[in-house]
Amino acid sequence: MDTAVIEVQNLTKRYGDVEALRGVSFSVSEGEVFGLLGPNGAGKTSTVEILEGLRTPDSGRASVCGLDPQRSGAEFKYIIGAALQSTALPDKMRVREALDLFGSFYPRRRGTAELLKRFGLEEKRNAFYSQLSGGQKQRLALAMALVNDPRVVFLDEPTAGLDPQVRREIYDIIEELKKEKKTILLTTHYIEEAERLCDRVAIVDHGKVIALGTPRELKGRSGAVTRITVRMARPEANGALGKLEGVSECRAEADDYLLYSTRVPRTIVALVKHLEEQNNELVSLEIAAPSLEDIFLELTGRRLRD
């Protein structure tokens, strides 16, 4: 195994009465894209900000490339790049100026022109920060995170609040960084993002890592439960559906029934038989291999977007 670039052990952090982190541990290898997935308030940002050196943990250990983010000075800042959850700049700062200014802090830097081109900001080079759209601001934040050509990049909710089109643009950028073998720690509450971008994902909830692995592993671990979404002409008490062959769990959600099955073919046959007996009709049927969303639901009993 390659060496761990980011190591986090048993981090705890409390803000007044709120326990934001209750013992978070994980490690990230060189060149890996690691995702922290969880709902708002799960502790993702606290974890990332401890690793960036912006916050001090109450207990536990965090290290990046063997350095302590809280105690190390410039040498630590030279190797990291960060896009904060909300990057703010003076309204009257121009795009080009921001990149030049932040670039000037580092001994090793990427050219402003190159970054502008890469992040599609060439036309906006002389625009004030306040004139940029949300997507452009986010692209600038990413460009700024890369001015020093860092080894480790922290991206805290890089696509939050952006429309799908812009989000996909950001994905492309992150995938390119992945090709450059940068180590990336990314937080998100979008399943799609974690599945598409991350080599490994830690699902975080209430300040704890509740599951960790590659997206594939995580899906496999849920006992290979496949979700069957059924809509019937006439709703019925879900007790009966839950007793069908292979069904481990049944939930009612709006007009749909979600059946979690370990033996899909048998369940389908049993379902059709059951509907015939009841003289009921099938309106729609959907079979989905487990997604991270399901894993999350299974682990926490809640949906991510709750």
Partner 1 sequence: MRLAMRNRAFLFFSMIMPLVFLFIYAGILGRGNPEALPYLLADVLALTVMGSFWGLSVQLVTFREQGILRRFRVAPIGASAMLASSIISNYVLTIPTVLIEFYLSRKLFHMSGMGNLIAVATLLTLGIVTFATLGLVIASVTNTMQETQIINQILWFGFLFLSGATIPFPSLPRAIQRVAYFLPATYLVSGLQQSMSVVDPVKISELGLDLASMIGCTIIAFVVAAQLFRWEPEAKTPRRAKLWAAGAIIPFILLGIWENKYEHVRARAMSDYQTIERTSPPDPAMPSR
Q: Which residues fall within 8 angstroms of residue 73, CB to CB, at 6 or more apart?
A: none
Cα(176)–Cα(133) distance, integer angstroms: 23
Q: Is position 77 an interface residue for partner 1 (rule: CB under 8 A)?
A: yes
Q: Is position 56 an interface residue for partner 1 (rule: CB under 8 A)?
A: no
Per the CB < 8 A criterion, the answer to whether 198 and 34 are in contact is yes
Which of 42, 43, 50, 52 binds partner 1 (CB under 8 A)? It is: 52
Q: Is position 186 an interface residue for partner 1 (rule: CB under 8 A)?
A: no
Q: What is the CA radius of gyration of the chain?
A: 23
The amino acid occupying position 244 is L
The amino acid occupying position 232 is M
**Residue with smaller CB distance to partner 1, 33 or 82:** 82
Kindly state the smallest distance separating residue 87's Cβ from partner 1, in Å.
Answer: 5
**Residue with smaller CB distance to partner 1, 74 or 237:** 74
Which of 73, 216, 239, 253 binds partner 1 (CB under 8 A)? It is: 73
Q: Is position 102 an interface residue for partner 1 (rule: CB under 8 A)?
A: yes
Q: Is position 70 an interface residue for partner 1 (rule: CB under 8 A)?
A: no
Kindly state the smallest distance separating residue 106's Cβ from partner 1, in Å.
Answer: 7
* Beta pairing class for 183-188 and 247-253: unpaired
Location of structure tokens 């050509």: 149
Q: What number of chain residues touch partner 1 (CB under 8 A)?
A: 24
DSSP code of 225?
P
Q: What angle do CA 180, 184, 188 make, to 5 degrees?
A: 130
* Chain positions contacting partner 1, by CB under 8 A: 52-54, 73-74, 77-78, 80, 82, 84, 86-90, 92-93, 97, 101-102, 104-106, 144
